[in-house]
Amino acid sequence: MPLYAICPFFMYEKKNCIGCELKTLKFPTYRDKKSWMYNHCCSWDYEECKNSMILMKKYS
């Protein structure tokens, strides 16, 4: 099942990387990246992500 990003700061995903508006996140394995995406980028709880918190303060 594909994952769809909900986080407004999500930009792209590649092999073991996720492009966030704040920075590029690199993961040791594809499984680690998918776990991060499932828990942060593709969840309505994306506001709990530290990167999202920093960017929310920037735009507030």
pLDDT-derived band at 3 (thresholds 50, 70, 90) equals confident
Where residue 56 falls (left for φ over 0; alpha for ψ -120 to 50; beta otherwise) is: alpha
pTM summary value? 0.85
CB atoms within 10 A of CB 4: 9
Residue-wise pLDDT for 9-36, tens only, equals 999 999 999 999 999 999 999 999 999 9
